Amino acid sequence: IARTREVIDSQVQVRTDFYVRNRVTVFGGRGEILSPQEVRVDDHAGRQHLLKTRNILVATGSRPYHPDDVDFSHPRIYDSDTILTMDHTPRHILVYGAGVIGSEYACIFTGLGIRVDLVNSREHLLDFLDTEISDALSYHLREQGCTIRQGEHYKRVTADDEGVTLELESGKKLRADALLWCNGRSGNTQNIGLENVGVAANSRGQLKVNERYQTEMDTLYAVGDVVGWPSLASASYDQGRFCAAAIAGDEVRQVTDVPTGIYTIPGISSVGRTEQELTEAKVPYDVGQAFFKNLARAQITGERVGMLKILFHRETLAVLGIHCFGYQAMEIVHVGQAIMRQPGENNTLEYFIDTTFNYPTMAE
């Protein structure tokens, strides 16, 4: 946790230096949209600034979703933000919600030797992933001692000085020292003045945008978590860059083919289509596999768990999807992503056949 704070502070400083270097004026405080051309900022010193502008870009991010019937003020109930202020080590923790964030924290806590119950409202863990990869994560979580409960929905959460009880609609009652609630996120669009310009967010606080990142009002734009998918820092950076370029008169560009990076233990990363999607689309494909246990670098580091799948078209050999599970998966996937984005007939399996990779490496 201490290291996390250091990294966050360092990243904030890096961004601040960028603003200074590029002569971007930053007003720190609470902003409210007054009209299509005006934003008021109440700063930390109690002063008010009225900013007049041609365009407004909302990039307020998101926060953990809080249902009304769960008491998040209780010291034993956490979300993915407040868990970073935890000042004790629970022996047993419940994680409700087995999406990306819930799965990542479940891996962290099992890695610390804490007993974990991971409650998933769906029938499969991270069901948007390739089935084989999802199954591998389930296996390794269970092997590390995590109990996964699929297809369960909460009925009631009660907490006292000794612990937390999670009642499920199936009739089960789970008891632990603490509860981590990871059931989605909400866009930060409350009380920022959207009603003053006639723009409304959906039930999860997200704004609908077109291909230019415009909301219902032409001069109001939105990017990042506040627009929903894909809700990744990598995509948000590019959305902001592409949106600013379009406002300045450059070509309109969309964020597409975003690689998935899931920081479980081991990690997961993928880009392109899954086997299920290709099967449903009746695309004739084949699968190439490599197992980490056979790589010299994996044997050197001791990180032998994992595998890489390349899905390719049977006739054209075009690379259709890359799916990786294991150490350095988030770095490895970029090699495949670069080939998939090549123009014409350069995006085929031939690249991997004809190219010599460094040995010993994980990319090999």
The yes-or-no verdict on residue 34 having pLDDT over 90 is yes
Encode pLDDT of 139-195 as tens digits. Answer: 999 999 999 999 999 999 999 999 999 999 999 999 999 999 999 999 999 999 999
| Residues 333, 296 contacting (CB under 8 angstroms) | no
The yes-or-no verdict on residue 135 having pLDDT over 90 is yes
**Angle (CA) 346 352 353, round 5°:** 105
Residue 121 carries which side chain, given as an amino acid letter?
S
| Residues 133, 325 contacting (CB under 8 angstroms) | yes
d(CA 120, CA 137): 14
Q: What is the pLDDT of residue 344?
A: 85
| Residues 126, 134 contacting (CB under 8 angstroms) | yes
Tokens of 8: 């966050």
Q: What is the pLDDT of residue 159?
A: 97
Residues with Cβ within 8 Å of 154's Cβ and at least 6 positions away in sequence, in order, are 96, 119, 166, 167, 168, 169
Same domain, 273 and 179: no
Beta bridge partners of 271: 322
Mean pLDDT, residues 111-126 taken together: 95
Does 247 map to a domain?
no
Same domain, 86 and 175: yes
Q: What is the pLDDT of residue 21?
A: 97
Mean pLDDT, residues 5-23 taken together: 95
Does 147 map to a domain?
yes
Count of domains for the chain:
2
String of DSSP letters for 27-92: --EEEEEEETTEEEEEETTS-EEEEE-S-EEE---EEE---TTS-TTSTTEEETTGGGG--S--SE
The CATH number assigned to the domain holding 334 equals 3.30.390.30
Does 57 map to a domain?
no
Mean pLDDT, residues 51-67 taken together: 96
Same domain, 81 and 176: yes
Using the 3D structure, point to which of 185, 215, 236 is the last residue of a domain: 185
Q: By residue range, what is the domain housing residue 334?
A: 266-354
Does 236 map to a domain?
no
Q: Are strands 260-262 and 268-272 parallel, antiparallel or unpaired?
A: antiparallel
| Residues 40, 56 contacting (CB under 8 angstroms) | no
Encode pLDDT of 89-104 as tens digits. Answer: 999 999 999 999 999 9
Using the 3D structure, point to which of 129, 163, 185 is the last residue of a domain: 185
Using the 3D structure, point to which of 185, 201, 232 is the last residue of a domain: 185
Does 64 map to a domain?
no
Same domain, 174 and 270: no
Per-residue confidence band for 206, with pLDDT thresholds at 50, 70 and 90? very high
Q: What is the pLDDT of residue 1?
A: 85
Q: What are phi and psi of 267, to 5 degrees?
A: -80, 165
Same domain, 81 and 178: yes
Encode pLDDT of 329-356 as tens digits. Answer: 999 999 999 999 999 889 999 999 999 9
Does 307 map to a domain?
yes
Tokens of 129: 């992933």
Beta bridge partners of 29: 43
The yes-or-no verdict on residue 326 having pLDDT over 90 is yes
Same domain, 181 and 271: no
Q: What is the pLDDT of residue 257?
A: 85
Does 195 map to a domain?
no
The CATH number assigned to the domain holding 113 equals 3.50.50.60
Beta bridge partners of 253: none
Does 301 map to a domain?
yes
The yes-or-no verdict on residue 229 having pLDDT over 90 is no
d(CA 286, CA 313): 6
The full 3-state SS of 238-290, as one line of letters, equals: HHHHHHHHHHCCCCCCCCCCCCEEECCCCCEEEEECCHHHHHHCCCCEEEEEE
Element holding 303 (H helix, E strand): none
| Residues 346, 340 contacting (CB under 8 angstroms) | no
